[in-house]
Amino acid sequence: MSTLTAQEHYLSSFSQLEAKLPGQDAAWLKSLRLQALEQFKQAGFPTDKLESWKYTNLSLNLLKEFFTFEVPASTTVVAAQLKKNGFDTDKAHLVVFVNGKFSKELSSLKPLEKGMTVQNLASVLSNETVKAFIGKIALSQNKAFTALNTAFFTDGLFVQLEAGKVLDAPVHAVYVSTNGSQTTQSHLRNLLVLANDSKVNVIEHYWGENVSAYLTNVVTEVAMATGSTLDHLKIGQEDIKGYHIGSLIAQQEEGSYFASRLFSVGGALTRNDIETTLGKKKAECVLEGLYLAKEGQHVDTRTFIDHLSPNCNSTEVFKGVIDDQAVGVFDGRILVRENAQKTDARQSNKNLLLTKEAKIYSKPQFQIYADDVKCSHGSATGQIDEEALFYLQSRGISRDEAKKVLVYAFAGEMVEKVESGYLKPGLKKLVDSWMEVS
């Protein structure tokens, strides 16, 4: 079974689906979709021969299985579940998507003051801003999944803030996959546009309650104007049968501050690409993440920070806990271009292996073309410290309990770093429940 068959399936599906995709009256979008389809045709699905997919082997047979594009949404009580999981959704703008489509009944959008928009993308495709940014930040060239997303996306989150607007309550977008016995796929596109000095906190929350395999392919584009601030948090809580491919691509202007935090616990295979371009001086980014994997899970995180301009700072901390036969991949690349003098870039990747079969591949990279810079990275991989375990045991704590304490001490740091009171209880629960089950 070759790549072609999976690829062909997508190509032929397009002509059938085209008429049903949103944005029928937007000619620009139609041609963008066609162009992306062509780019997908050229790129083909990535194989492990590609450096950026070296450690993640997509099972192409599986890709073919995600044949069904449209699955009716069964009802699910999102808000109640979130509450149970520690997120007090009353305090947030809740935007819910089920199987790739916006669900008005499940969402609770609060009224917003003028100059702020929180919507589903499909309903605003005639908006000029959307036209100006979609496909301009996340380029489809040589990126099969981004191209697929551009061609097939059905919906997603749209947030726009005009100059100086500050949205205090977080925007909590939940993407539910629920498919019963059908294999399914959804392509989601999010667009966040922040004008000068605006500020917002956005949560992308992916979650699956499935009995069959499914694919979530998401692309988030972020445009940040001068002085804007975005606190972005992504929770990957896909079902154990879910495949998640996600790209978060940001473009930062002068003095903007972009924080991206990733908490990935679910999914059979999870791939996250996080990229930001520090395009103008004094822009800053903080990329943090925690990936927890067990059983046969495969979690691949790839980051790329492009220091294009002088006086920009970037801080990157990623931690992983790998249990059972799971595999973790971290590939962090930092590029400091000739013009980017006075760059301060720090990167750290730490991994904890809990079993003999667990594997980790870490690839922290630097490409530096400017001289007046401070760059450092560190990567460390190890197991739970026997002496620390022994110490806790000598204090009357069972070995299992002691292990949990130490794993939490390691992983919990990433939760502690999150300042938002809205998120903390939920994230704590997330990490705790991961440890309970393992």
Partner 1 sequence: MTPKTQEPSVEKVTSEEYKYGFVTDIEADSAPPGLNEDIIRFISHKKKEPQFLLEWRLKAYRQWLKMKTPEWAYVQYPPIDYQDIIYYSAPKAGPKSLDEVDPEILKTFEKLGVPMEERAMLAGVAVDAVFDSVSVGTTFKKKLGEMGVIFCSFSEAVHEHPELIEQYLGSVVPYNDNFYAALNSAVFTDGSFCYIPKGVRCPMELSTYFRINAAKTGQFERTLLIADEDAYVSYLEGCTAPMRDENQLHAAVVELVALKGAEIKYSTVQNWYPGDKDGKGGIYNFVTKRGACRGDSSKISWTQVETGSAITWKYPSCILQGDNSVGEFYSVAVVNNMQQADTGTKMIHLGKNTKSTIVSKGISAGKGQNTYRGLVRIQPAAENAHNYTQCDSLLMGDKCGAHTVPYIEVKNNTAKVGHEASTSKIGEDQIFYCQQRGLSKEDAVNLIVNGFCKEVFRKLPMEFAVEAQKLLSVSLEGSVG
61-69, 101-109, 285-293, 348-356 -> range binding partner 1 (CB under 8 A): 348-356
Residue 123 neighbours by CB under 8 Å, 6+ apart: 102
Residue 241 CB-density burial (10 A; 0-12 exposed, 13-18 middle, 19+ buried): middle
Q: Would the CA dihedral through 404, 409, 411, 417 be positive or negative?
A: positive
Of 373, 405, 406, 435, the one binding partner 1 by CB under 8 A:
373
Nearest approach in angstroms of CB 374 to partner 1 is: 6
CA atoms within 13 A on the CB side of 233: 24
Tokens read off for 92 = 């947030």
Q: Which is nearer to partner 1, 196 or 347 (CB)?
A: 347
Q: Which is nearer to partner 1, 154 or 313 (CB)?
A: 313
Rounded Cα–Cα distance for residues 295 and 149 (Å) = 29
| % helix, strand, coil for the chain, step of 5 | 25, 40, 35
Is 297 one of the binding residues for partner 1 (CB under 8 A)? Answer: no
User: CA 367 → CA 141, 270, 349, 437, distances in Å?
Assistant: 22, 26, 17, 40
Q: Which is nearer to partner 1, 50 or 109 (CB)?
A: 50
Of 240, 361, 397, 412, the one binding partner 1 by CB under 8 A:
361
Is 379 one of the binding residues for partner 1 (CB under 8 A)? Answer: yes
Closest-CA residue to 134 (of 22, 38, 293): 22
Give the binding-site size for partner 1 (rule: CB under 8 A). Answer: 40
Nearest approach in angstroms of CB 347 to partner 1 is: 9
Is 341 one of the binding residues for partner 1 (CB under 8 A)? Answer: yes
Is 339 one of the binding residues for partner 1 (CB under 8 A)? Answer: yes
Contacts 24+ apart (CB under 8 A), 64-68: 64/1, 64/5, 64/6, 64/9, 65/183, 65/213, 66/183, 66/184, 66/185, 66/213, 66/214, 66/215, 66/243, 67/9, 67/13, 67/183, 67/185, 68/179, 68/182, 68/183, 68/184, 68/185
Is 376 one of the binding residues for partner 1 (CB under 8 A)? Answer: yes
Q: Which is nearer to partner 1, 113 or 386 (CB)?
A: 386
Length of the chain: 438
Rounded Cα–Cα distance for residues 189 and 166 (Å) = 23
89-97, 262-270, 372-380, 400-408 -> range binding partner 1 (CB under 8 A): 372-380
Nearest approach in angstroms of CB 191 to partner 1 is: 31
Nearest approach in angstroms of CB 147 to partner 1 is: 24
Which residues between 32 and 91 bind partner 1 (CB under 8 A)? 51
* Pair type for strands 298-307 and 93-98: unpaired
117-125, 183-191, 235-243, 352-360 -> range binding partner 1 (CB under 8 A): 352-360
Q: Which is nearer to partner 1, 134 or 287 (CB)?
A: 287
Task: Tell me the per-residue interface mask from 245 to 284 with partner 1, x by CB under 8 A, - otherwise.
Answer: ------------------------------------x---
Of 9, 30, 359, 428, the one binding partner 1 by CB under 8 A:
359
Of 372, 387, 400, 436, the one binding partner 1 by CB under 8 A:
372
Is 382 one of the binding residues for partner 1 (CB under 8 A)? Answer: yes
DSSP secondary structure code for residue 218 in this structure: E
Q: Which is nearer to partner 1, 106 or 327 (CB)?
A: 327
Closest-CA residue to 281 (of 325, 337, 232, 236): 337
> What is the binding site for partner 1 (CB under 8 A)?
51, 281, 310-311, 338-339, 341-342, 351, 353-383
